[in-house]
Amino acid sequence: MEKTMYEYKSTCEVQAGETCEAFHSRIIEASQKHLADYKKAKSACEDAKKAVEEKETECTTALKTYESQKTNCDSVQDAMDSYSCSYTEKATTECEAAQECYTKAVNNYDTVKASSQQQLDALKQEWRALLRMECIIKVFELPEGDRAKALDQCQLKDVAKQSDQDLALQFPVKPGKPSCQITTDPPGSSAYKTANYNSLPAEAPAKACVASCCEQSAGVSGLDFSGLGTTPSGSWSLALNIDTNDGNVVAYPNVEFWESATGLGGASDQMSERFTRDYKDADVFSNKEAKELLIVCHDEGKAIRKATKCTRTRRYSRFLKFRFDSLKLDVP
C-alpha cells in the first residue's frame, strides 16, 4: 500500500483556475482519503498476517498430530503385518514339517511291513515243516500196526492253517495324512489387502507392507497383479527397480548400480521404497542364482503390463551381477 508522491502527481498539481484555498482544501481532503484508505488497508493486512500466523500455528499443530498419528498407524500396521507373516511362516514351516514327517513315516511303515511280511512267510514255512516233523516223530511212538494210518494223517494235517494261527502278526493301521491349514492370503497379497485395508478412508490408505513375507507375497516380491488378472507362477525375488519418472541417477553409464556387487549407485536399498524409486537389493543381485529374469512394468507396485520372462542361456552368469551389455532380452 506504500505509494510514492509521483503516483499522486495529478492530484497534487494546481488545477486550472483553482484558488489557493480550494487547492489546499482539495489536497487536505485527498490526503485524508488516501490516509484513511491506507490505514484501512494496513489494518486489513495486519489482520490477515495475524490470521495467517494463527492458522500457521494451528496447521503446524495439526501437521504434528497427523504425522504422529500416521507414525502410530504405520507402526500398528507394521506390527500386524509382521505378526501375520510370523504366523504364516511358522504355520507353513510346521505344516511342511508335518507332511514331510508323515511321508517319511509312511515310507518306513511300508518298508518295515514288506520286510516283516517276508520274514513272517519264511518263518511260517519253517514252522509248517517243524509241525509235520513233530507229527512224524510221534508216529514212531505208536505201535507198528498203527503207524501207517498215523503217517497218512500227518500228510493230511493242515499245518498251514495252524502256522497262520500260531504265527499271527497284527500290523498297526496306517493313519491318514493329517490336514494342514495354510493361509493362501499372506500379507502383501491382494486378498489380504482387500480384507484388511479396503475399509480405510481414501485419505488414509495403508502403507506399503515391509514385513518379511511381503517381499515374496504371491511369489512376485509383493507386486500386485490383480489388475491384469493373472500372476506369474513361481517364486521371484526383487533385485532391481528402475523409476523412469524421477530423473534420477540410474542410467546405463552408472557402473556402480549395474555391475557392483554391493554398490547402490544412488539407488535405495530400503524395502519400503522398493516400488517408489530406484532400488537395488545387493544380496539378490549378487548372491542369488538367476535362472530366469522377470521384467515387470508397474505403477507404485501395481503391475500395468504383462510380465516378460527371460530364460538364462549359457552366455549369462549364474548371478545377476554380470555386464548388462551381454544380456539380450526378448522384450515385446
DSSP secondary structure of 198-220 = TTS-TTSPPPPP-SGGGTTGGGB
Per-residue pLDDT band at 1 (split at 50, 70, 90): very low
Q: What is the reported pLDDT for 9? A: 60
**Does the global pTM surpass 0.75?**
no
Average pLDDT, the chain: 78
Run of H or E including 293: strand 292-295
User: In whole angstroms, how far apart are CA 323 and each of 163, 179, 237, 279, 312?
Assistant: 76, 48, 20, 18, 14
pLDDT single digits (tens) 29-41: 878 888 888 889 8
Per-residue pLDDT band at 233 (split at 50, 70, 90): low
Residue range(s) defining the domain that contains residue 126 = 104-166
> What is the distance, to the nearest Å, from the Cα of residue 82 to the centroid of all Cα atoms in its chain?
11
Residue at 28 is within a domain: no
Cell representation of residue 132: 509235520
- Whether the pLDDT of residue 285 is over 90: the answer is no
Residue at 197 is within a domain: no
Give the mean pLDDT of 285-290: 70
Number of structural domains the chain divides into: 2
Alpha helices (H) along the chain? 9-12, 20-139, 144-156, 159-166, 190-197, 255-259, 282-287
Residue at 62 is within a domain: no
Residue at 306 is within a domain: yes
Give the mean pLDDT of 181-193: 78
Out of 30-34, 260-264, 314-318, least confident range: 314-318
Q: What is the reported pLDDT for 332? A: 34
Spatial distance between the Cα atoms of 167 and 121, rounded to a whole number of angstroms: 10
pLDDT single digits (tens) 37-79: 888 989 999 888 888 888 888 888 999 999 999 999 999 999 9
Residue at 151 is within a domain: yes
Share of the chain above pLDDT 70, in %: 79
Q: What is the reported pLDDT for 275? A: 80
Residue at 150 is within a domain: yes
User: In whole angstroms, how far apart are CA 223 and each of 26, 190, 269?
Assistant: 77, 9, 17
Residue at 173 is within a domain: no
232 plus 155 within the same structural domain: no
295 plus 245 within the same structural domain: yes
Residue at 283 is within a domain: yes
Q: Which among 151, 211, 218, 168 is positioned nearest to 189, based on CA atoms?
A: 218
pLDDT single digits (tens) 89-133: 888 888 888 888 999 999 999 999 999 999 999 999 999 999 989
Spatial distance between the Cα atoms of 317 and 320, rounded to a whole number of angstroms: 7
**How is residue 62 annotated by DSSP?**
H
Per-residue pLDDT band at 331 (split at 50, 70, 90): very low
